[in-house]
Chains A and B, each alone.
Chain A
């Protein structure tokens, strides 16, 4: 990982004048030229506008103006974030030709902070998937081994950072779509507390679960990125008004005296190589002064089930606007209803259709109580169970993904096998609490393993503090492994 510059290095270099944003950009564009054809991280590379932007950042520095905390940092955006005048596809045919007339809040904040947007990254269509194989524009390949998936749904954004195409990227996490691909690509991925990052301009999959977050090379970069994109937005009613903490403040503090929870009734299913690394993570934290405590989160097991009712239910409503009337794809037919059917049949892929059907069914008269109503009850139980766990522990540690990166096609025939990829990440979307995946050594075939640190709502500083300790320990591990 160390061969690429971090966002922190780039930003401080550009701000101090020791680095030129244009040079930094060209290095990243060169990586894109070299490997993008095989990786396919991007739906769109924005080389021209990025060069203009980098030149503008350099001009600001030359004129003594500080471009901001992400000065000259090349950033890739998941292609479900609205960028004014630039196609935004959700990797779906249904948004064919659509260019948003506005920038999402995160996009505006990144520009204001001096970041240079290099492109829009590939995803599972409408963020529905765990391998980026559901993209209408073809899959993204894992930069560490192109025979393997990068994870998903933010596979393009994870791959962009892992391949050195951008120093920073953003994804969205509805059930693990940042943390799982981060784990599979060996980078850091954060899902902040629900409401911490504005969803204005994020094309909705499941509104009550969606949250934008960064992919970075380091935990410090994640803190830097969050400092820019977190905060209250009057355009998002679910946005949290609380003042922002300093996300970098606790990174070097260590874990002395912290209580790290081990979930004793965690659902089984993690591969042995992954489980072994997570055990090692507990040991490392204990060795550095943390206390490991056993906690129970009984509802954890029901997370996947509840999620696959709630997320599709919201999606069935969110995706109803793609009707061919106002924008995107329209397939003509003799009357309006036939046009709707023809457009949606041609515009959506199988997984999207599957979830629209699931969600429509779950909300239907006569089924609501048995499905959607019950799922909401599980969600409330889940929140209670986690609240109890956080009475005993400051943070919780789990695998990010049950397995390391897997081969293309190995789970596509069985949707449920694919859904299981998100077993450990889904509960924090249901509770709205933050989670981070941090690379921690390797597993099978030398592929990276991600360890997930979970924290209570707005507990990001503590979460990052623990993740930073694991990051330092991982480097030591690596050295020891190499020696």
Chain B
């Protein structure tokens, strides 16, 4: 289980997340209108999107494939499924019902493993259509109450969504953030969604309750309007604390839907459970059951790329670093692990490549501007002792600035020559002589004392000495 735990006053938080993601299809879930963000309002519309009388939905095969990808990437069972109508009135829902999956969703019973080793269960990941977008104008601070009028854009209406519902397995804000980050990385890796929280193509609702560990689940509140990974953590922490304060004051928690206010850093009541709509779900009579064949499921499974967790494991095993180390995490997040292996394949050193990628390639994507061969040559110079780590950094900066080149000739131009060991040994002698106090402290086990010795040598060598090697020599003398 997770190392990160959160408790307060003897309570733990119990959190489940519902994540809506827009699928990266060309067209909408049930019609041929483009699924595209940012177009002129009400241009990506047709009789189905508008809910015109007589129009009928036809399921988008690509959307089903992407939904299956999500399910399989989350270790779900893909099963025969049905569509249902969720009935409610709202001006941006043209038919006054949302076509969703209710009793038989396409994906059930999966899990998501997080980098820290914890596992979050996935209850279901089902297909549904998005609503349009309402903009409330004049007063009311963008909310419908107090607005003078409302504008409706139906470009988003009918865009395919998958709603991924986790089990209530999350116990801390860190774990919630890690879950969202990992889910996002998977969605990007499998090409199912661009998963941009800021554009709303990935939206998170949190179900939060608190309890004394080992006791039954408490009453939950659903938190909406959580628009960034950071606010996921903030919102559930606020909400858990609010519930604990109420319980400690002897009050009971009412089941509510609450709105996260990012500016105020708090949640507000949207509605109580008693006021919730009765959605009157029933099977969508305009669609037939969807029964993915075993062959189709296997075809989708076979087409899945290696997922982030496996990529982290692969890179970690080859480098000896921990799977949840920052270097492994950030390189895999950026999709640069294939590049790292390309450097290795070109005869370079994987470990040195990872060090460079983590720092110098932070602003680059999966295809860095530098040819893998160029970086390979640099790492080779390093492991051969021809360049110190510090020198290598300088050469790399130059390589990146030039968009490539030969590391050896850049090093030569800069006048870099790695010192051989005898030269370093002499410098170490000199440093010990110059700083006897530091040397004694270091020998006595005060690790910090090494700093001023190394500093002395680096200064004397004008930064040319290899810090790592210097440390090794000092340790050996001790």
Q: Find chain A residues with CB under 8 A from B50 CB.
A: 326
Quote the shortest CB–CB distance from B271 to chain A (angstroms): 14
Interface pair A100/B52, CB less than 8 Å apart: yes
Given the known interface contacts A100-B53, A237-B288, the answer about A313 and B47 at a Cβ–Cβ threshold of 8 Å is no
Interface residue ranges of A66-123 to B (CB < 8 Å): 81-82, 88, 90, 95, 98, 100-102, 104
Interface pair A101/B282, CB less than 8 Å apart: no
Interface pair B96/A323, CB less than 8 Å apart: yes
- Contacting residue for A82 out of B54, B57, B89, B287, CB 8 A: B54
Q: Find chain B residues with CB under 8 A from A337 CB.
A: 89
Given the known interface contacts A237-B288, A317-B97, A323-B96, the answer about A95 and B53 at a Cβ–Cβ threshold of 8 Å is yes
A202 to B286, CA, bound (A): 12
Interface pair B282/A317, CB less than 8 Å apart: yes
B478 at the A interface (CB under 8 A): no
Classify chain B: how many residues form its interface, as a range.
Answer: 20 to 34
A372 at the B interface (CB under 8 A): yes
Interface residue ranges of B266-281 to A (CB < 8 Å): 278, 280-281
Give the secondary structure class of A's interface.
loop
CB-CB nearest in chain A for B59: A237
Interface pair A325/B152, CB less than 8 Å apart: yes
A326 to B280, CA, bound (A): 23
Classify chain A: how many residues form its interface, as a range.
Answer: 35 or more
B369 at the A interface (CB under 8 A): no
Given the known interface contacts A95-B53, A360-B280, the answer about A101 and B97 at a Cβ–Cβ threshold of 8 Å is no
B85-107 contact mask (Cβ, 8 Å, vs A): 1 or 0: 10101010011110000000000
Given the known interface contacts A102-B47, A320-B87, A336-B91, the answer about A237 and B280 at a Cβ–Cβ threshold of 8 Å is no
B246-279 contact mask (Cβ, 8 Å, vs A): 1 or 0: 0000000000000000000000000000000010
CB-CB nearest in chain A for B144: A336
Give the secondary structure class of B's interface.
loop
Interface pair A238/B286, CB less than 8 Å apart: yes
A140 to B281, CA, bound (A): 37
Interface pair B288/A372, CB less than 8 Å apart: no
Given the known interface contacts A326-B94, A340-B89, A365-B278, the answer about A237 and B286 at a Cβ–Cβ threshold of 8 Å is yes
Q: Find chain B residues with CB under 8 A from A260 CB.
A: none
- Contacting residue for B89 out of A203, A208, A320, CB 8 A: A320
Interface pair B96/A313, CB less than 8 Å apart: no
Q: Find chain B residues with CB under 8 A from A3 CB.
A: none
Centre residue among B51, B280, B288 by max chain A CB count within 10 A: B280
Centre residue among A235, A313, A321 by max chain B CB count within 10 A: A321
A314 at the B interface (CB under 8 A): yes
B473 at the A interface (CB under 8 A): no
Q: Find chain A residues with CB under 8 A from B144 CB.
A: 336
- Show 12 residue pairs from A and B whose CB-CB distance is below 8 angstroms, ordered by the A residue: A88-B54, A101-B52, A104-B54, A235-B56, A237-B59, A238-B288, A317-B85, A323-B96, A327-B52, A336-B150, A340-B89, A363-B282
Nearest 8 A/B pairs, CB to CB: A320-B96, A208-B285, A363-B280, A207-B285, A203-B53, A82-B54, A201-B54, A365-B278
Q: Chain A: residues with CB nearer than 8 A to chain B?
A: 81-82, 88, 90, 95, 98, 100-102, 104, 199-204, 206-208, 234-238, 313-314, 316-317, 320-321, 323, 325-327, 336-337, 340, 360, 363-365, 368, 372
Q: Chain B: residues with CB nearer than 8 A to chain A?
A: 47, 50-59, 85, 87, 89, 91, 94-97, 144, 150, 152, 278, 280-282, 285-288
